[in-house]
Amino acid sequence: KEIESKPTSTCWGAKMPFANCMFEVSNGGGGWVQDVSFSASGELLAFVGHDSSISVVNGVNNQQLAVLKGALLPMLSLTWIGPHSIVAAGHDCVPKLFRYSDDGNVTFVSDLDIPQEKEAGTMSAMNRFRNLDKKATADSSTELKTKHQNTITQVSIYSGTKDNCNKFCTTGKDGQMIIWDVKSLESSISGLKIS
């Protein structure tokens, strides 16, 4: 006897035998897939590829594929934080917000970590020359102006659901785990509305 009842049919297929390919798609980029995430309803599947693309497949609408390719560094992780909002991050060290619209398009909305300009300390001409002469250095820093200092490897929901996320978390190769408050992001970035 089976312990669990048979799964009901979904927009991805009616029969779901174990180890059977339910759906196969190509976004035409040829890069491998880094991460996938289903929406809360299970009807939308988003994935990021090594070709710097983010793609969304609509399981209800004839498995329509929407692809956004950018001049960004590849993204490694993504998650839904609302019915139409996706956060993705990777080698750019910055979480990025994307929106999937009802007409089947994916658009880039905003970087969610706006770099803060750090105040440069005042240095006299004599000290500047001394540093150039002694240390062969100018006053240049290799530190990034973003919160993460290296690749973001994972984006996950910290509080809330994929339909209504309150906080999400990013972890990176820099050893940092940063928790982002959605309401704070909306208020700090002008015109930003996460839904």
* Ranges of each domain in the chain: 33-113+148-188
CATH fold for the domain made of 33-113+148-188:
Methylamine Dehydrogenase; Chain H (2.130.10)
Is it the case that residue 121 has pLDDT exceeding 90?
no
**CB burial readout 159-171, b (16+ within 10 A) else e:** eeebeebebbbbb
Query: In the structure, what pLDDT confidence band is assigned to residue 192 with cuts at 50, 70 and 90?
Result: confident
Q: What is the pLDDT of residue 135?
A: 64
Query: In the structure, what pLDDT confidence band is assigned to residue 87 with cuts at 50, 70 and 90?
Result: very high
Higher-pLDDT residue of 77 and 32 is: 77
- Of the listed ranges 62-66, 81-85, 98-102, the least confidently predicted one is 62-66
- Of the listed ranges 73-82, 117-126, 151-160, 181-190, the least confidently predicted one is 117-126
Query: In the structure, what pLDDT confidence band is assigned to residue 117 with cuts at 50, 70 and 90?
Result: low
Is it the case that residue 131 has pLDDT exceeding 90?
no
Higher-pLDDT residue of 45 and 128 is: 45
Q: Which residues lie closer than 8 Å to 106 by C-beta, 6 or more apart? A: 54, 55, 56, 66, 67, 68, 86, 98, 99, 100
Interval 158-179 mean pLDDT = 96
